[in-house]
Amino acid sequence: MVHRMARALRPGKVFVDHSQNAAAKTTATPYTLRARTEPTVSAPVTWDEVEGCESPEDLVLRLGDIPGRLERHGDLLAPLADPAAAGVLP
C-alpha cells in the first residue's frame, strides 16, 4: 500500500485514499449506479478477480452483470453486517 496518489509512484500497488474517510465526503455505496452515459456499478470484487485482471477495464461492472455475480458469489459485503462471520468477534 502507498499513501501518495500519483500513479507513477505506485506501480503494482494499491492506493488507500484515507482522505475519503471524512464526514463531509460522499462515497458511492455498494451496488450504486454511477452517473455516466453507460452507467457502471460500484460493487465489491474478490481478490481472485483483482489478481486475475489484466487491465482496470476487466473489473468494470454494469447493471446487467450484478444478478449473475450475486448468484455466483453472494453478497461479498454481507459479512460486514455480521461481525462474528467477518472474524471480528469470537
* pLDDT value at residue 9: 73
* pLDDT value at residue 81: 81
* Nearest-10 Cα torsion for 63, 33, 59, 22: -160
Q: CA–CA distance from 89 to each of 48, 82, 84, 86 (Å)?
A: 26, 9, 5, 8
How many other C-beta atoms can be found within 10 angstroms of the C-beta atom of residue 45? 14
* pLDDT value at residue 88: 56
pLDDT tens, per residue, the chain with 90 residues: 555 667 777 777 777 777 777 777 777 788 899 888 888 998 999 999 999 999 888 999 999 999 999 999 999 988 888 767 656 555
